Structure 1
């Protein structure tokens, strides 16, 4: 009976280690998946920013060609600049999330 209780104890310890390591690997994997998602979101915000800057530049060139001096006071220009600021804030939030995930990953 002594050998059976020892085998049972060893199996119990082994399963405990497997559960612990499995949980650890799962959490690391989820952290990596979140990092990839945030990197993708940052890439998307860069694309949106690029498109918004391009649109703002085109409107500015158009205003210069037409000698339209109140360019920055127009409503469409103001809304475009507000959109750019909003996307920048969104990008900063993603960067903060990535930093917090990296800190979590170090632990």
Structure 2
């Protein structure tokens, strides 16, 4: 199993949800946030003032079988890409196990 964490611009949330719906991906968590990448930063002018500018982002957490990762990642990239700095990042990590609290079952059948 893999966990896909996609940090993307909040303005692209609907596009991504639509793309995931087409892939019949139902189980996910979306969290709003603010963030910035490592590119150029906008600084407000003024003596002694350094104010970071942040983008409104959403973070998608999706846990899936290994075989679905490439398809989901491609869909997220296509739905979130603008070509501008700050489009976001996708992190993929391995999940050792999952437990459904309601049914108390373990393993892939829970995702």
- Normalised-by-shorter TM-score class: under 0.3
Q: Normalising to structure 2: TM-score of the pair?
A: 0.22
Bigger CA radius of gyration: 1
The structure with the largest strand share of the pair is 2
